[in-house]
Amino acid sequence: MLLDRDGTLVEDVPYNGDPEKVRPVPGAREALDRLRAAGLRLAVVTNQSGLARGCFTAEDMRRVHARVEELLGPFDHWAICPHAEADRCACRKPAPGLVHDAARALGTVPTRCVLIGDIGADMSAAAAAGAAGVLVPTPATRAAEVAAAPTVAADLPDAVDTVLARMRLVAAPAPARRAARGTVLVVRSDAAGDVLVTGPGIRAVAAGADRVVLLCGPRGRAAAELLPGVDEIIEWPLPWIDAPAPPVDPDAIQALTARLAAVGADDAVIFTSFHQSPLPLALLLRLAGIAHISAISDDYPGALLDVRHRVPAGVPEPERALSLAAAAGYPLPPDDQPGLRLRTDRLPPAPAAAGPPGYVVLHPGSSVETRACPVELATRVVRVLGAAGHRVLVTGGPDERELTARVAAAGGVDLGGRTGLGELAGVIAGAGALVVGNTGPAHLAAALGVPVVSLFAPTVPFGQWGPYRVPTVRLGDAAAPCRDTRATACPVPGHPCLSAVEPGRVLEALRLLGVPAAVPAPVPGGVVG
């Protein structure tokens, strides 16, 4: 657990070098003691430019921190940036250096850390390191910073409540169950990205089962083939999930029920997104003779579910899946990390046109219009990155060849239509970073540990659907009128939430993520036939 100092732990006194002026925020000591009691190690991550400005001495700061610990209890590490903004150091928040420093000192990695802070720089530093962030606004916090935060709490005790509740969700005690698990049917329909973010939950089930059979839809099949822990895949479109929905065909429903019965599953775990109901499929599973069924359901399930799980709104989708697996009796093993993962042995090599690793991948398209990068912005990004010395590969599906050709003409390499999902993962694996909207390739990058510049339209919550546990910089207007509408067609002319992003911000994001220009700028129009 990482905590900002001024405005988060103690009242913000500008350039304070006087221990007598230290005033804890209300409830701070009790909240921190609850974190300590939960076994969490604590570090403070704080910008202290007053040192560089000569406002106080290192000894003054030491006495202030001694007073903080006298009032709030001990911290396991203090990570301090002593530089001024003009120094352009790698540690001053929003740069991620302090987060990396604190994680090392605590014997962990940033992706296992949460940072609580009161301004956008705290959230940006956390995201750029791959850590989670919880914002506790003060009167000094800008509205735009609140809108962009992945999670917002009312105060420090509320932030601690949020963190501890999420810990309990994914480590829920398993119900009393028989020792032999046999075959477990897991279900995750919808698109590739939805299947990818369910991966940690599926791995948790696989760790406690002899065999895992995954039921998915046609759009998720390619992603399902890349997930660890899956022994067999059943591909079947579900008319209450897929969009556009196929008609309900009684013969097809009977055939699906028979196919599910043939699996011989001892258990079933139905993973869904927050807006989907598991109950239609639960009914078919009952008819198929599956005796034990678990799912998240706000609706009363009657006899359709044996484990009816509840999850608060806003929990990241991978944690939502992990929490259901744990409630069903399949907690993630201690030796597994809760991030996304792929079976890298199944990744085909990247096309030869990709060239040596270290390039930047730009994926401008999306199956959902509102989540795509506007073509004019994508074109300008390629031009700016190329001028800065980055080799840019432009990727897209077979139906996006015209889009990728237009974007790549600004100085990138066009791989549009040349990569299936597996090949695309191979391309991303060699990248220094991925520039992408809220679409499946962002989750591929997260699973591969590749940093993401996320051009994220706010139609769905970033904290729930953003790249999970991977260094990320979010760009775009998080407070745009389309916020939380779940719109698939842009309700505001001109796509302003993303079209207003300046390409130079993407270049700045790459620098923040530590992505160097790998090669000389390519010749404009480097299109691969």
The whole-angstrom separation of Cα 64 and Cα 21 is 9
Q: Are 230 and 201 in contact (CB under 8 A)?
A: no
6 in active site: yes
What residues pair up with 413 in beta bridges, in sequence order? 393
Q: Are 4 and 46 in contact (CB under 8 A)?
A: yes
The whole-angstrom separation of Cα 468 and Cα 487 is 22
Residues 211-224 as b/e (b if ≥16 CB within 10 A, e otherwise) read bbbbbbbebbbbbb
3-state secondary structure 105-123: HCCCCHHHCEEEECCHHHH
Tell the residue number behind the tokens 């129009």, with chain if given: 525
- 156: Cα separation from own chain's centroid: 23
Q: Are 195 and 316 in contact (CB under 8 A)?
A: no
231 in active site: no
| Burial class of residue 275 in the structure, from the number of CB atoms within 10 Å of its CB (0-12 exposed, 13-18 middle, 19+ buried) | exposed
Q: For the beta carbon of residue 175, count every other beta carbon within 10 angstroms.
A: 12
Residues 471-489 as b/e (b if ≥16 CB within 10 A, e otherwise) read bbbbbbbbebebbebebee
6, 118, 190, 266: the active-site residue? 6
What residues pair up with 373 in beta bridges, in sequence order? none
373 Ramachandran zone, left/alpha/beta (phi>0; psi -120 to 50) = beta
Residues 258-271 as b/e (b if ≥16 CB within 10 A, e otherwise) read eebeebebbbbbbb
Q: Are 191 and 276 in contact (CB under 8 A)?
A: no
**DSSP conformation letters of 350-366:** PPGGG-SS--EEEE---
Q: Are 115 and 136 in contact (CB under 8 A)?
A: no
DSSP code of residue 374:
P
Tell the residue number behind the tokens 């799980």, with chain if given: 309
The residues carrying an active-site annotation are 4, 6
